[in-house]
Amino acid sequence: MTVAHPNTAGPATTIAAVPWEQARTLARGCVRQPLPVVTRPLGDALGHALAEPLTALTDLPPFDTSAMDGWAVAGPGPWRTGGAAVLAGDHSGFLDHGTAVPIATGARVPEGATAVLRREHGTVDAGGDLLHLHPAGPEPGRDIRPRGQECHAGEPLIPAGTTVTAAVLGLAAAAGYDRLAVHRRPTVELLVLGDELLESGVPRDGRVRDALGPLLPPWLLSCGAETVSRRAVADDPGLLREAVRHSAADIVVTTGSTAAGPVDFLHDTLHGLGARLLVDSVAVRPGHPMLLAELPPAADGRARRLVGLPGNPLAAVAGTVTLAAPLLRRLGGHADGEPCRVRAAAALPGHPRDTRLLPVLRTDHGVAPLPFDGPAMLRGLVLADGLAVVPPGGALSGATVEVLDVPRRA
Ligand SMILES: Nc1nc2c(c(=O)[nH]1)N[C@H]1C(S)=C(S)[C@@H](COP(=O)(O)OP(=O)(O)OC[C@H]3O[C@@H](n4cnc5c(N)ncnc54)[C@H](O)[C@@H]3O)O[C@H]1N2
Ligand code: MOO
């Protein structure tokens, strides 16, 4: 499809929308290399992408470890007992053949021990001998986690590009790390455009509430932004120009003003600033006027990009998942995950020519469409487990479609 832009400087221009998949690829591909590498203490690394593979700094476990509370035993029973209990963190000594010593879960197994007998499988008789109650007795190695069972020092554990999750933090700490080499995360400035937008109260006098100011910052943070600052900019070309020109953020995100209405100044502004449009409308519904541009660099030479999201709220979300999320993830150094493909539990309605991003619910039989999916609506999105990428013409029940993530956690 084509879109006319009468506000673009010079005569009205007509530009072709790029296919949806190509738009997503362009958003990823415009980043030649991720943001620089920084080292962060573990506590500050959550959500960043690893800049280098995480390699074990130690064997795990680092020593032969008791997996249970009980006794370390040497050889077949019964065993003479007597020594002091070995606790986690203790320096363990040597265990003579035919003897046993109480041991705690996590303690280092003494040299000479052949197994650990669980507390509930043994009893000490009046003479101080340990007998095992379990008929089979502990076979050699029983309930001992051998040193290096999980990994050996120097072994690669996690590839570069992995997102640091709570589990990654735990493994990194277990493997000996205090700090992690990660990519800096992109900063975002959100410019909310539209004089009709109210920041509080009930819509009145032809004006509506700003839904995107509250919706977008947490969404962009969940895609890997470091910070999202936000401000409203009046429908004034000079103010918009100054706001974009002076933004120090790695990514400027605007809402509204992408189309061709009387106060849609975004195209003119970008033209006036010498920005380079990489994507200027996409063959997708909702959200087709979305755009992506390279801005002139920041004062310190950093590259800057602008994502223009359409004003209709669901259309803005479509622009976020298509352009902003891939751009944020690539700048932050995150590796691409495998696309999530799911069976359609029912026919998914499509647009005759364009891709459609449809709020869907996961059911036992696959994904199903939700009501209230219009470009200006958010009710369907609130219930959605994802956005199905529906090809032109729609998808039949039973077809497989890609489903894009929507952030579900607060
Ligand atoms: N002649 C044409 N007109 C329009 C076309 C077209 O192809 N030809 N496309 C339509 C589509 S689709 C969309 S989407 C919008 C995009 O418009 P803009 O990006 O210029 O956005 P606005 O005109 O400023 O606003 C559109 C709509 O959204 C409401 N809005 C804006 N910001 C917010 C916000 N932060 N929270 C809630 N609602 C917001 C605004 O009040 C308008 O109702 O263009 C169509 N027109
Ligand atoms: O494509 Mo508009 O973006 O339908 O709302």
The CATH number that applies at residue 252 is 3.40.980.10
Picking from 146, 172, 192, the residue at the C-terminal end of a domain is 146
Count how many domains the chain has.
4
Of 357, 226, 250, nearest to 306 (Cα)? 250
Of 364, 342, 245, nearest to 293 (Cα)? 245
Would you say residue 70 lies in a domain? yes
Would you say residue 31 lies in a domain? no
| 70 Cα to the center of ligand 1, angstroms | 69
CB 179 within 8 A of CB 39: yes
212, 312, 353, 373: residue to mutate for ligand 1 pocket, most atoms within 8 A of CB: 312
167 and 107 within one domain: no
Residue 8 clears pLDDT 60, i.e. is over it: no
371 and 257 within one domain: no
| Closest-lying ligand 2 atom to the alpha carbon of residue 315 | 3
Count of other CB atoms within 10 angstroms of residue 332? 25
Rounded-to-integer distance, Cα 3 and Cα 355, Å: 16
141 and 49 within one domain: no
377 and 268 within one domain: no
Show Cβ contacts of residue 150 under 8 Å, excluding neighbours closer than 6 positions.
60, 61
Would you say residue 367 lies in a domain? yes
> Can you list the positions of beta strands (E) in 296-408?
304-309, 341-343, 355-363, 366-369, 386-390, 400-405
Span 123-145, mean pLDDT? 91
Give the pLDDT score at 7: 42
| Residue 357: CATH number of its domain | 2.40.340.10
| Closest-lying ligand 1 atom to the alpha carbon of residue 264 | 20
Residue 80 clears pLDDT 70, i.e. is over it: yes
CB 17 within 8 A of CB 166: no
- Residue whose pair of structure tokens reads 């009893």 in the numeric block: 123
Instruction: Note whether ipTM > 0.95 here.
Output: yes
Span 151-155, mean pLDDT? 97
CA–centroid distance for 293 within its chain? 24
Residue 14 clears pLDDT 50, i.e. is over it: no
Query: Is the CB–ligand 2 distance for residue 374 below 6 Å?
Result: no
Closest residue by CA, ligand 1 atom 1: 260
Would you say residue 357 lies in a domain? yes
248 and 174 within one domain: no
Mean pLDDT check: name the lowest of 114-118, 136-140, 311-315, 318-322: 136-140
Would you say residue 16 lies in a domain? yes
Q: What is the extent of the structural domain holding 226?
A: 2-21+184-331
288 and 300 within one domain: yes
| 236 Cα to the center of ligand 2, angstroms | 23
